[in-house]
Amino acid sequence: MMKIKVNENFSRVKESYLFSEIGKKVRAYQAAHPDKAVIRLGIGDVTLPLAPVVVDAMKKAVEEMGVKETFRGYPPEYGHTFLREAIAAYYARKGIKVAADDVFVSDGAKSDVGNIVDILGRNTVLIPSPVYPVYMDSNLMSGNRIELLEAGEADGFLGTPDVLDGETYVIYICSPNNPTGAVYDRAGLKAWVDYALTSGSLIIFDSAYEAFIKGDYPHSIYEIEGAEKCAIEICSFSKMAGFTGTRCAWTVVPETLTTEEGFNLKKMWARRQATKFNGVSYPVQRGAEAALTQEGVKQCAALVDYYMENAKIISEMLTKKGVWHTGGVSSPYIWLKCPNGMSSWEFFDLLLEKVQVVGTPGEGFGEAGEGFFRLTAFGSRENTIEATKRLESIL
């Protein structure tokens, strides 16, 4: 028997990640009912292919890798300059100031969200509930003290700092929110930035769904004055450009993020990445660069529009059936209240058993998600229409 010590904090997290649990249940159901066609509106994975400009750029990059003169070995740990500059230009087109040198390219927002704890010490972490489960699990694994910021129907699933007493926190914000689809407006985000500045807190802002925003809402925390002194932003090509299987994301760590003890967060993140990460492949970075060109943004917006039409189809049916729900406007997620006071896993089982539609139980996103359920708009049009009909028949 080994005598080594392990990270005992792992006993604080649930044995299986939410989506592994769902997968297990669906596989068991399919094995028992091979004749039934299951429609998955559960996991937030995209289904449409990459935009043509992205494919062309990646093909060209692969060709370059096959020629001696243009072959490239290890990429720079922080991303190729062309992509860091393209990301800075993407912000600039929205009127947001982000320096290319503050942008760190990575293989996914999940990696960055999970790894950022490496450069932070023992803080109290403030995590919204319900929210993307990785914030909670990565902090549990690190043994950090966690406080929940519960949100609900009453506040439109948008927690505010009004309930806080000035304590210093590491604050996670996801806007548009996964799973609820709630988006902060300028005043809402400003309240968080002001709180962070006066309390000496750090905001970790996850903008993975910014490309889905409709209307006049901030796409980036850096639209708010002072955010460069208190916020890190993490964004991803996964949902905006269909890169879930291609893998590319970025994190902005402004040069101006310093602690009173004299630590510079950008320097620390650079050191962390240089030590533990060896960069994203060249063809993928060329594809990501193409997604941010004006033509790329246009083609990717067409993918987003397709999904948002799906969201509309689901949302209209729920409205017709009188089911309380939110989201589906500035996010690809529909967040609904389980009917008849059912728990979210009860509702999951009911949908799987009776109509073979898979969604995500709200409880998996935190305690405040209990009694709610997430459907995604990422399916094909045919599957979304069929699933909507099936749902309509039992709601």
- Using CB under 6 A, list all residues that contact ligand PLP: 44, 108-110, 113, 132, 174, 178, 206, 208, 236, 238, 244, 249
In the complex, residue closest to ligand PLP by CB: 108
Q: How far is the CB of 378 from ligand PLP (least distance, A)?
A: 10
Nearer residue to ligand PLP within complex by CB, 26 or 249:
249
Nearer residue to ligand PLP within complex by CB, 80 or 110:
110
Q: How far is the CB of 79 from ligand PLP (least distance, A)?
A: 14
Distance in angstroms (rounded) separating the CA atoms of residues 258 and 232: 12
Q: How far is the CB of 217 from ligand PLP (least distance, A)?
A: 16
Nearer residue to ligand PLP within complex by CB, 132 or 222:
132
Nearer residue to ligand PLP within complex by CB, 133 or 161:
133
3-class DSSP assignment, residue 316:
helix
Q: How far is the CB of 247 from ligand PLP (least distance, A)?
A: 7
Here the tokens at position 320 are: 């017709």
Q: How far is the CB of 297 from ligand PLP (least distance, A)?
A: 18
Nearer residue to ligand PLP within complex by CB, 348 or 365:
365
Nearer residue to ligand PLP within complex by CB, 355 or 362:
362
Task: Find tokens 């291609």 and name the residue.
Answer: 246
Nearer residue to ligand PLP within complex by CB, 178 or 330:
178
340 Rama sector, left if φ>0, alpha if ψ -120 to 50, beta otherwise: left
Starting at the edge strand that comes first in sequence, how are the strands of the sheet with 124-129 ordered? 103-106, 249-252, 231-236, 202-206, 169-174, 124-129, 145-150
Q: How far is the CB of 181 from ligand PLP (least distance, A)?
A: 11
Contact 187, 216 (CB under 8 A): no
Q: How many CA atoms lie within 13 A of 125 on its CB side?
A: 23
Evaluated on CA atoms 188, 193, 195, 198, the torsion sign reads negative
Q: How far is the CB of 366 from ligand PLP (least distance, A)?
A: 13
Task: Find tokens 């998600």 and name the residue.
Answer: 369
Contact 269, 104 (CB under 8 A): yes
Distance in angstroms (rounded) separating the CA atoms of residues 300 and 294: 10
